[in-house]
């Protein structure tokens, strides 16, 4: 029984994989024409499909929208009852139907044509009503569904989905869509949070910033470091200009070299040539700087090197940047 189940699963996977590979051989001028229509679209890209093709159309719309192409899905039945008003002459409409004869979509063709919208169809029949009524037709035909009765949409929906991904990623590259662009459309995702969060929004500032003058005794400075719990203390002049930093690691090195630290000032043992980061930089830049120089904490300064806050690896972890 176990072998039979595995055999069925591997057969399904092989059939669908073969269908995708055959799709690759059909990427031709029609695909280029579709990409050019979408890239030149001055309005929105509207996806329509019914049944399983509707689910695929909805997913293609979501992928396009998340990769820099303004797109959304309209249910054909709702379109016939008013939602067709969402489409205008600046739009490109992508119709997804394996048969190319879906009644709910075909009955919309006269209205879509009268609006002046461009039409791209994705069907398994080059001579279908939708294919013939389109400005560009994309062939998503398959030789066999993975269903043993050759009925349930399986290979055909997979091929349509893959072709939609190919359109989206081709457009992404053509538009120079960057990870930062992706983050702006995914602010709640991990990448969006990492790329969009600024140092200024998560740094410790005001009374939470450990700052002392250079003539403050080392022991007194250690109390400030302990109180603020950032693993460092920043040293500044009377104009709040950053002069140096003293960290937990610096303390260990001082103790290794000095048996008596009673008379030391923080200015004598601070690290002068320190790294810092501006408050308006992405928090991810702080992570990269810390990784590059093996640091656990950073002063945060403005353009004039005035201290505005502090940040450490724990702060970045709390903000889920790392």
Q: Is residue 32 part of a domain?
A: yes
Overall residue count recorded for the chain in this entry: 322
Q: Is residue 228 part of a domain?
A: yes
**Quick one: pLDDT at residue 147?**
84
Q: Out of 113, 145, 177, pick the residue that ends a domain.
A: 177
Domain count, the chain: 2
**In what helix (H) or strand (E) does residue 244 lie, and over which residues does it extend?**
strand 242-247
Specify whether 23 is located in the same domain as 151: yes
The DSSP annotation for 117-140 comes to: -EEEEEES-TTSHHHHTSSEEEE-
Specify whether 40 is located in the same domain as 171: yes
Specify whether 20 is located in the same domain as 111: yes
Specify whether 167 is located in the same domain as 36: yes
Specify whether 207 is located in the same domain as 255: yes
DSSP 3-state of 233: strand
Give the integer Cα–Cα distance in Å for 300 and 246. Answer: 14
**In what helix (H) or strand (E) does residue 45 lie, and over which residues does it extend?**
strand 45-49
Q: Is residue 64 part of a domain?
A: yes
Non-local (6+) Cβ contacts of 87 within 8 A are 44, 46, 74, 79, 93, 112, 115, 117
**Quick one: pLDDT at residue 187?**
58
Non-local (6+) Cβ contacts of 81 within 8 A are none
pTM of the model: 0.67
**Quick one: pLDDT at residue 318?**
86
Q: Kindly state the tokens that stand for 310.
A: 């502090």
Specify whether 104 is located in the same domain as 208: no
Give the integer Cα–Cα distance in Å for 277 and 240. Answer: 15
Specify whether 157 is located in the same domain as 214: no
Q: Are 235 and 267 in contact (CB under 8 A)?
A: yes
Q: Is residue 164 part of a domain?
A: yes
Give the integer Cα–Cα distance in Å for 44 and 94. Answer: 11
Q: Out of 177, 208, 235, pick the residue that ends a domain.
A: 177
The tens-digit pLDDT sequence of the chain (322 residues) is: 788 899 899 999 999 999 999 999 999 999 999 999 999 999 999 999 999 999 999 999 999 998 888 999 999 999 888 888 889 999 999 999 999 999 999 999 999 999 999 999 999 999 999 999 999 999 999 999 988 888 788 999 999 999 999 999 999 888 886 666 666 665 555 556 666 788 999 999 999 999 999 999 999 999 999 999 898 999 999 999 999 999 988 888 888 887 778 889 999 999 887 899 999 888 888 889 989 999 998 999 998 889 999 999 998 888 888 7
Specify whether 65 is located in the same domain as 211: no
Specify whether 52 is located in the same domain as 149: yes
Specify whether 118 is located in the same domain as 232: no
**Quick one: pLDDT at residue 256?**
86
**Cβ neighbourhood burial of 62 (10 Å; 0-12, 13-18, 19+):** middle
Give the integer Cα–Cα distance in Å for 213 and 141. Answer: 75
Specify whether 140 is located in the same domain as 212: no
Q: Is residue 194 part of a domain?
A: no
Q: What is the CATH number of the domain that holds 119?
A: 3.40.50.10490
Q: Please give the residue range of the domain that contains residue 79.
A: 2-177
Q: Is residue 79 part of a domain?
A: yes
> Checking phi first, is residue 190 left (phi over 0); if not, alpha (psi -120 to 50) or beta?
alpha
**Quick one: pLDDT at residue 182?**
64
Specify whether 211 is located in the same domain as 138: no
Q: Out of 126, 143, 177, pick the residue that ends a domain.
A: 177
Q: What is the CATH number of the domain that holds 209?
A: 3.10.580.10
**In what helix (H) or strand (E) does residue 161 lie, and over which residues does it extend?**
helix 155-174
Phi, psi of 269 (to 5 degrees): -115, 0
């Amino acid at each position: 029984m176990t072998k039979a189940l595995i055999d069925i699963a591997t057969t399904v996977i092989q059939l669908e994989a073969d269908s995708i590979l055959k799709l690759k051989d059909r990427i031709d001028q029609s695909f280029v024409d579709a990409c050019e229509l979408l890239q030149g679209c001055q309005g929105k890209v509207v996806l329509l499909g019914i049944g399983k093709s509707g689910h695929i159309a909805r997913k293609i719309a979501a992928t396009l929208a998340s990769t820099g192409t303004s797109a959304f899905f309209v249910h054909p039945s709702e379109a016939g009852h008013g939602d067709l008003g969402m489409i205008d002459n600046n739009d490109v409409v992508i119709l997804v139907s394996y048969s190319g004869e879906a009644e709910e979509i075909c009955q919309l063709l006269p209205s879509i044509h009268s609006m002046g919208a461009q039409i791209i169809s994705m069907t398994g029949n080059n001579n279908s009503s939708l294919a013939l009524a389109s400005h560009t037709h994309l062939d998503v035909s398959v030789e066999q569904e993975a269903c043993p009765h050759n009925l349930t949409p399986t290979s055909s929906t997979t091929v349509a989905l893959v072709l939609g991904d190919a359109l989206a990623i081709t457009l992404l590259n053509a538009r120079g869509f960057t990870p930062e662009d992706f983050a702006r459309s995914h602010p709640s995702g991990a990448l969006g949070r990492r790329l969009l969060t600024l140092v200024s929004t998560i740094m410790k500032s005001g009374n939470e910033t450990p700052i002392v003058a250079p003539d403050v005794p080392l022991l007194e400075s250690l109390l400030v470091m302990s109180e603020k719990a950032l693993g460092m203390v920043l040293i500044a002049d009377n104009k709040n200009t950053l002069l140096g930093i003293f960290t937990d690691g610096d303390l260990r090195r001082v103790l290794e070299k000095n048996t008596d630290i009673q008379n030391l000032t923080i200015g004598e043992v601070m690290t002068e040539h320190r790294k810092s980061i501006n408050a308006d930089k992405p928090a991810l830049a702080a992570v990269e700087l810390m990784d590059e120089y093996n640091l656990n904490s950073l002063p945060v300064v403005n353009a004039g090197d005035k201290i505005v806050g502090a940040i450490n690896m724990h702060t970045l972890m709390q903000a889920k940047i790392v």
